[in-house]
Amino acid sequence: MTDEPLPGMAPYIVRASRQLAAMWSKFGPGPAGETCKNCVALRGYRGYGGGRRTYYKCSVYGVSSSEATDWRLKWPACGYFEKQKEKSNG
């Protein structure tokens, strides 16, 4: 993979995240304004390494106990994006 941005992807994202660049390469860009935070594929795992931190992973990209598969909530969504259903209070 090169360090050239894909169409529509900000150059800083390629440098910061080869994972996200791979997802954009496979699925294309997601809906404008959406982030990984709102996708059904994003999973949070607590306590790797005995800590209290939540580590986010994309279940489509792959999940491991390595930081190589850590995901950022603020990353722009890829074309796989499916919005999470709203949680109801009832």
Tens-digit pLDDT profile for residues 39-87: 999 999 887 666 788 999 999 999 998 888 999 999 999 999 999 887 6
Q: For residue 1, what pLDDT is reported?
A: 46
Residue 56: strand, helix, or coil: strand
Count of other CB atoms within 10 angstroms of residue 21? 21
Task: Quickly state the pLDDT bin for 10 (edges 50, 70, 90).
Answer: low
Count of other CB atoms within 10 angstroms of residue 61? 18
The pTM (predicted TM-score) of the whole model is 0.74
